[in-house]
Amino acid sequence: MASSPSCREAILAIKPYVPGKPIEEVQRELGVKDVIKLASNENPLGPSPEAVQAMREAGDRVYLYPDGNCYYLKNALAGKLGVAPENLIVGNGTDEILKMLAATYINPGDEIVIADPTFSEYEFDTQVMAGRAIKVPCRSFRHDLKAMAAAITPRTRLVFICNPNNPTGTIIGQVVLDTFLHEVPPSVLVVLDEAYADYVTAEHYPNSLAYVRGGRANIIVLRTFSKIYGLAGLRVGYGAAVPEIIRDLNRVREPFNVNLLAQAAAMAALNDTAHIKKSREVNEEGKAYLYEQFTALGLEYVPTETNFIFVNLQRDSRAIFQQLLAKGVIVRTGDIFGYDTFVRVTVGTPRQNERFIQALREVLARA
């Protein structure tokens, strides 16, 4: 048999991203009919009804290529965020923008600085470009920005700050971030990934877009429609930065990268303030309920500014995960983040939260 073509050596060390188990997979494998997914931090209320209607109205036009520049969505975002359209780039989820950043800025041997644990895609995209991730351990589940600043070297091209952080749900505040930015060389691009910003209630959370409005040349802010807007299945995210950064990213952006239905839904979701408000309320109520239940079970958890909670089950998370699966409850194991006894659970609807707690009680009683 003839040998297949050799792949690039740089990708051999990459561990492919493993997403949370889909509901359909659990139904197929375990024969469980009623399954709830609390693994991927999706909005349990689903999308805005206005977004669904916008997709229906746009459906007749899917034979056409979408607007490659996302003109109307950019202008809607610009008005809402207080920036110019030239400050924005829209992607097939923020995952695509992370890939654009790696393709634009990382040469073989270059470095990025990230927290540990944090979102795995930062390291993944860097490895694809034959770069290296310098990991700085979190302190009390938060970014240690002082140590991250000290980790910057002449090879550093990007620093990623996931704020709130995934999987811990913690944030860094305005004063701490300002202090850090004073120490970062102008040649290093700071990526502020704010996928969960819409859930934050803390008053000291940074006003990151003020840096963009002020023309700071080494910052890009990333946000998404996958979380509170409930459009994860459509894949829409965006970045805000000075026009020079946006122009460079557009050099590597795929044409027609954001589909027509996604653009229509995102514009409608952006303006459905009632849906966003309800989503926040359900999340806050769910957090309070889960905190109370974890405390009653004697479990330690990390207070969160997101729609998920990182909780220590004090047992092997893989074993608990499998037992919860058998009961039709999907969560995310902590071993993938280096925390073998933790799980990350999405805050669901009241019914979903209650079902999760009941299943967890039963599993822990047998463990």
341 within a domain of the structure (yes/no): yes
Least confident of 23-37, 57-71, 300-314: 23-37
Same domain, 167 and 264: yes
Same domain, 179 and 281: no
According to DSSP H, which parts of 129-173 are helical? Answer: 145-150
Residue 134 has pLDDT above 90, yes or no: yes
d(CA 151, CA 114): 9
243 and 281 assigned to the same domain = no
Which CATH number belongs to the domain containing residue 243 in this structure? 3.40.640.10
Residues with Cβ < 8 Å from 117, sequence gap 6 or more? 138, 165, 167, 168, 337, 338, 339
- Residue 180 lies inside a defined structural domain of this protein: yes
Please report how many Cα atoms fall inside a 13 Å half-sphere around the Cα of residue 88, on the Cβ side.
25
Per-residue pLDDT tens digits for 2-33: 677 888 888 888 877 766 767 787 777 767 77
Q: Where are the beta strands (DSSP E) in the chain?
A: 36-37, 88-91, 111-116, 132-137, 156-162, 189-193, 219-224, 237-240, 300-302, 308-312, 329-330, 332-333, 342-346
138 and 281 in a common domain: no
Chosen domain end from 270, 286, 313: 270
Total Cβ atoms within 10 A of residue 361: 12
State the Cα–Cα distance between residues 21 and 24, nearest whole angstrom: 8
1, part of any domain: no
User: Phi and psi for 161 in degrees, rounded to 5?
Assistant: -120, 110
DSSP count for the chain of H helices, then E strands: 13, 13
Count the domains in the chain.
2
- The confidence score (pLDDT) of residue 11 equals 81
208-255 confidence digits (pLDDT tens): 999 999 999 999 999 999 999 999 999 999 999 999 999 999 999 999
User: 124 and 203: one domain?
Assistant: yes
Same domain (yes/no): 103, 169 = yes
Tell me which of 17-26, 32-41, 146-155 is least confident. Answer: 17-26
Last residue in a domain, options 247, 270, 293: 270
CATH of the domain at 14: 3.90.1150.10
Q: How many residues does the chain have?
A: 367
Strands 219-224 and 189-193: parallel
- Please check whether residues 39 and 56 belong to one and the same domain: no
Do 93 and 20 belong together in one domain?
Answer: no
- Identify whether 2 is part of a domain: no
Residue 54 confidence (pLDDT) above 60:
yes
Sequence-distant (6+) residues with CB within 8 A of 154 are none
- Whether residues 66 and 159 fall in one domain: yes
- Amino acid at site 198: D
**313: domain range?**
9-47+274-366
Amino acid identity of residue 264, one-letter, is: A
Q: Which residue has the higher pLDDT, 14 or 173?
A: 173
Mean pLDDT of 146-160: 98
User: Does any domain span residue 113?
Assistant: yes
Residue 147 in any domain: the answer is yes
Q: Check residue 2 and give its pLDDT.
A: 62
Does the pLDDT value for residue 1 go beyond 60?
A: no
Asked if the model's pLDDT at residue 204 lies above 60, the reply is: yes
236 and 351 fall within a common domain:
no
For tokens 């694809």, the residue is 128
Q: What angle do CA 238, 239, 241 make, to 5 degrees?
A: 155
Same domain, 230 and 321: no
Question: How much is the average pLDDT of 153-159?
Answer: 98
> pLDDT tens digits for 74-105?
999 999 999 999 999 999 999 999 999 999 99
What token pair was written down for 29? Answer: 């494998």
Whole-number Cα distances in Å, 97 to 26, 118, 159: 30, 17, 15
Task: Taking residues 267-274, report their average pLDDT.
Answer: 97
Rg (CA), the chain: 21
Residue written as tokens 């819409």?
198
| Position 186 in a domain | yes
Residue ending a domain, choose from 251, 270, 289: 270
Contacts of 300 (CB under 8 A, 6+ apart): 294, 311, 312, 314
Does residue 101 share a domain with residue 167? yes
Q: Beta strand 219-224 with 111-116: parallel, antiparallel or unpaired?
A: unpaired
Q: Cα angle vertex 83, ends 204, 53, to 5°? A: 95
Token pair of 156, please? 């550093």
Mean of the per-residue pLDDT values for the chain? Answer: 95
Domain assignment present for 4 = no
Return the structure tokens found at 52.
């669904």
Let me know the angle formed at the C-alpha of 365 by 361 and 367, rounded to the nearest 5 degrees: 115
Distance of CA 42 to the CA centre of its chain: 10
178 band by pLDDT with thresholds 50, 70 and 90: very high
